[in-house]
A and B are shown apart, each in its own frame.
Chain A
Amino acid sequence: MLTLKYQGWFQCRLATDPDPSDEKRGVSGYMKSLPGEPDFDRIIRFHNPVVERSHTPKVGVTVTKVYLKNEYIDDHFLLGAKVNLENNPKFYGFNGIVADDGIEPIVPFDLSISIPNIQLSRSLEDKSPEFPFNDYKPRNGILIGGNDVVENTGIWDIRYTLSERIEKLNADLSSTTDDIEKYNISERIKFLKSPVATRFFQARMNWFLVLRGNINSKGKTPEIDMNSPWVNSFWMGGWDPDAQNGYVSGILQIPMK
């Protein structure tokens, strides 16, 4: 069994309740797309964020550890590989019609691991996902607390982190002359001082997905068993609405030949 541990910040820019799920800018919910930023699209991005707000964590999800059987391999070629969700995955809540906030399925679920010239990818299933998307949903609802989020993000005190961000933004505000930038920084500072800025940081959603779709491989991939399912167990949490980022940490188990 090849076990890949992956981690990193992802981006998801989405309108929140009571805005319609396809609201593009954010009107009534706490999430807003600021002037000059693109419209919301709900896409979960493990790489290539469409906006990078200043003084926020960098987006990128990579393989951080590799184990073969139970042995840690510190020079495995997949260390540092990009982990990605392909084909514009979204949290399928649709205003609670499919699922309430925090327990939304990720649809589609097409996972890939890649380094230059090598890519391995697999979908949850080969058929098109169908309502009510139960196989794509997280298990056990939203979990609050525990050490997972703080230990993995390295943010032990989110309030302190955000107060440092506010200080930096205040410094930026005093030096900028651009009207849009001034507006955006002021709005961000106002938001960061509100309770909702930290409310969801310690919450996480847990998935346990068994990937049974066809395996696609490019380049010289490991000698994997092409018939057995992959088990992908991960959580998403550490939600930082100012950054429009959250943290993902997971384990992907791939049976070998």
Chain B
Amino acid sequence: MINTREELINALTEAAELEHNLLIQYLFSSFTLKTELKEGLTPLQQAKNLEWKGIILSVAREEMGHLGLVCNLLSAIGSAPRFGRPNLPQSEKKYYPFEAPFTLTKFSRKSLYRFLIFELPIGENPPEDSCKVDQRELMIELFSAPDPLIYNKVGDLYNQIKEGFNKIPEKELFIGPKNAQDLDDWSVRLNLQNVNDRKTAIKAIDDIIIDGEGTAADREGSHFNSFKNIWEELCLIDYDPTRNVVENPFTRSHRDSSDEINVNLITNKDTLKVSEIFNTIYSSTLLMLMQYYSYGGETEAQRNLLRSSLGQIMSGVIRPLGELLTKLPISDNENDGFAAPSFEIYSDLRLSPFKENRWLILNETFNNVINEIKSIEHLDQRFLEIKNKMIWLNQNLQPSN
């Protein structure tokens, strides 16, 4: 039951972490799809894989929008944005009370089933599977007796948050500055809305629920339905659509990860370096998001620069680097499988309270990353473009620009 500001802040903080953790699982899975003819696909199989990839990426993008909206909700009630999260994997019903683990797994029916369980509409039973493979295993793993959990679906959590917004007196609750919120002027539509009263808060939450579950009358276009459709289509194919990517390919062990789920440590030196570069850029992106959402003294021009750079880095650097990792071996023996982006956070994300230092730290980190990329440039021609993009981004990201 949420009936105080503190409880509402806690629940929204959890919602932000949840959206973040969902979207990285979706991104990881989408990057593991084969996309090239030389990987043994026919032209039509390639087109099908690209279509699936596009659908999952589009769900991940909506989760990014949800994360932004949750930050707006936090801001509206006077709190701070939340971009931190525990490292994965996290086993089921522990850190998060879901009936499925949070873990980085390649695209498969099993992964898709996990995703659709995350987005399962409240009150609806999991879909029955007419496909003959793996079903028994799935059911045993995901449907053990439910615990008395606070929530076990994404929609569940948001419904409780909605109740909180309805219960707490409106005049007391909305103490955040009206102009400290993110509006929808990113390069892709994220459906961000300004939240400044109960009505706009409820509308924002309803939109998040509808994106995930759809409505009882219409599930079309919802995350649940998108995953369910792919899951069903996967039953009909007679080829392996996925690269041989291992589960949780990590650069190191983390104290905040669950030790009940298998983690594969990367031992190939080049792959390790690429993965560390990826994680550093990812963490810097989170810091840029914190800087952007913190309204901590940046000018409007600097906030615009941060916003445009964030879009550029996500599409232009993080995605290609993530895709490249799925082609790099985890060890010196290619038969051991390939890596993929692990989205590791090496230490707590902290934004400097001093504006000048935020920019300095960002530029310094990017300079280091550029030097690191130079040392692995020979691995694939895409690294050259990534390096150039990082150099140019770093030149753009001067506080005076």
Tell me if A86 is interfacial: C-beta within 8 Å of chain B: no
Q: Give the residue of B54, B58, B312, B320 whose beta carbon is less than 8 angstroms from that of A97.
A: B312
Interface centre among A32, A95, A131, A183 (most CB of B within 10 A): A95
Task: Report A-chain residues with C-beta under 8 Å of the C-beta of B61.
Answer: 18, 28
Produce 1/0 per residue, A97-108, CB < 8 A to B: 110100000000
Task: Report B-chain residues with C-beta under 8 Å of the C-beta of A251.
Answer: none
Q: Establish whether residues B57 and A97, one from each chain, have CB atoms under 8 Å apart when the complex forms.
A: no
- Find residues 1-34 in chain A having any chain B CB closer than 8 Å to their own CB: 17-22, 24-28, 32, 34
Q: Give the residue of A25, A94, A96 whose beta carbon is less than 8 angstroms from that of B35.
A: A25
Closest partner residue, chain A, to B322 (CB atom):
A20
Interface 9-residue window, one of B119-127, B146-154, B265-273, B388-396? B388-396
Tell me if A35 is interfacial: C-beta within 8 Å of chain B: yes
Task: Report B-chain residues with C-beta under 8 Å of the C-beta of A36.
Answer: 43
Q: How many A-B pairs fall under 8 Å by CB?
A: 75
Q: Establish whether residues A35 and B44, one from each chain, have CB atoms under 8 Å apart when the complex forms.
A: yes
Distance to closest chain A CB from B151 (angstroms): 31
Tell me if A179 is interfacial: C-beta within 8 Å of chain B: yes
Number of B residues, CB within 8 Å of A: 31
Task: Report A-chain residues with C-beta under 8 Å of the C-beta of B35.
Answer: 24-25, 27
With known contacts A95-B389, A183-B44, A20–B50 Cβ distance under 8 A: no
Tell me if A115 is interfacial: C-beta within 8 Å of chain B: no
Interface residues of B (CB under 8 A from A): 35-36, 43-44, 46-47, 50, 53-54, 57-58, 61, 187-188, 308, 311-312, 314-316, 319-320, 382, 385, 388-389, 391-393, 395-396
Produce 1/0 per residue, A55-85, CB < 8 A to B: 0000000000000000000000000000000
Q: Establish whether residues B315 and A22, one from each chain, have CB atoms under 8 Å apart when the complex forms.
A: no
Task: Report B-chain residues with C-beta under 8 Å of the C-beta of A27.
Answer: 35, 50, 53-54, 57
| A interface residue count range (under 10 / 10 to 19 / 20 to 34 / 35 or more) | 20 to 34
With known contacts A22-B382, A183-B47, A96–B187 Cβ distance under 8 A: yes
Bound CA–CA A35/B46 (angstroms): 8
Distance to closest chain B CB from A134 (angstroms): 13
Q: Give the residue of A17, A22, A131, A180 whose beta carbon is less than 8 angstroms from that of B385.
A: A22
Q: Establish whether residues A18 and B315, one from each chain, have CB atoms under 8 Å apart when the complex forms.
A: yes
Distance to closest chain B CB from A103 (angstroms): 13
Bound CA–CA A19/B385 (angstroms): 14
Q: Establish whether residues A22 and B57, one from each chain, have CB atoms under 8 Å apart when the complex forms.
A: no
Bound CA–CA A20/B187 (angstroms): 13
Q: Establish whether residues A131 and B392, one from each chain, have CB atoms under 8 Å apart when the complex forms.
A: yes
Q: Establish whether residues B53 and A34, one from each chain, have CB atoms under 8 Å apart when the complex forms.
A: no
Bound CA–CA A24/B382 (angstroms): 11
A-B contact pairs, 30 of them (CB 8 A): A17-B188, A18-B187, A18-B188, A18-B314, A19-B315, A21-B316, A21-B385, A22-B385, A24-B36, A25-B35, A27-B53, A27-B54, A27-B57, A34-B47, A35-B44, A35-B47, A94-B388, A94-B389, A95-B315, A95-B316, A95-B389, A96-B311, A96-B316, A97-B312, A97-B316, A97-B389, A131-B392, A131-B395, A183-B44, A183-B47
Interface centre among A24, A28, A94 (most CB of B within 10 A): A28
Q: Establish whether residues A94 and B58, one from each chain, have CB atoms under 8 Å apart when the complex forms.
A: no
Closest partner residue, chain A, to B382 (CB atom):
A22
Closest partner residue, chain B, to A35 (CB atom):
B43
Produce 1/0 per residue, A132-176, CB < 8 A to B: 100000000000000000000000000000000000000000000
Q: Establish whether residues A20 and B316, one from each chain, have CB atoms under 8 Å apart when the complex forms.
A: yes
Q: Establish whether residues A94 and B385, one from each chain, have CB atoms under 8 Å apart when the complex forms.
A: yes
Bound CA–CA A18/B190 (angstroms): 12
Q: Knowing that A27-B35, A28-B61 are A-B contacts, what are 10 other residue pairs whose CB atoms are under 8 Å apart, sorted by A's residue number?
A: A22-B382, A25-B50, A27-B50, A32-B50, A35-B44, A35-B46, A95-B315, A95-B389, A96-B187, A98-B392
Bound CA–CA A219/B302 (angstroms): 54
Task: Report A-chain residues with C-beta under 8 Å of the C-beta of B44.
Answer: 35, 179-180, 183
Closest partner residue, chain A, to B311 (CB atom):
A96
Bound CA–CA A32/B47 (angstroms): 10
Task: Report A-chain residues with C-beta under 8 Å of the C-beta of B46.
Answer: 25, 35
Task: Report B-chain residues with C-beta under 8 Å of the C-beta of A18.
Answer: 61, 187-188, 311, 314-315
Distance to closest chain B CB from A53 (angstroms): 15
Task: Report B-chain residues with C-beta under 8 Å of the C-beta of A34.
Answer: 47
Task: Report B-chain residues with C-beta under 8 Å of the C-beta of A28.
Answer: 54, 57-58, 61
Distance to closest chain B CB from A184 (angstroms): 9
Q: Establish whether residues A94 and B316, one from each chain, have CB atoms under 8 Å apart when the complex forms.
A: yes
Task: Report A-chain residues with C-beta under 8 Å of the C-beta of B385.
Answer: 21-22, 94
Distance to closest chain A CB from B389 (angstroms): 5
Q: Give the residue of B57, B308, B382, B391 whose beta carbon is less than 8 angstroms from that of A96.
A: B308
Task: Report B-chain residues with C-beta under 8 Å of the C-beta of A26.
Answer: 50
Task: Report A-chain residues with C-beta under 8 Å of the C-beta of B58.
Answer: 28
Task: Report B-chain residues with C-beta under 8 Å of the C-beta of A98.
Answer: 392
Task: Report B-chain residues with C-beta under 8 Å of the C-beta of A20.
Answer: 315-316, 319-320
Task: Report A-chain residues with C-beta under 8 Å of the C-beta of B319.
Answer: 20
Closest partner residue, chain A, to B385 (CB atom):
A22
Task: Report A-chain residues with C-beta under 8 Å of the C-beta of B47.
Answer: 34-35, 183
Bound CA–CA A57/B187 (angstroms): 30
Bound CA–CA A107/B191 (angstroms): 35
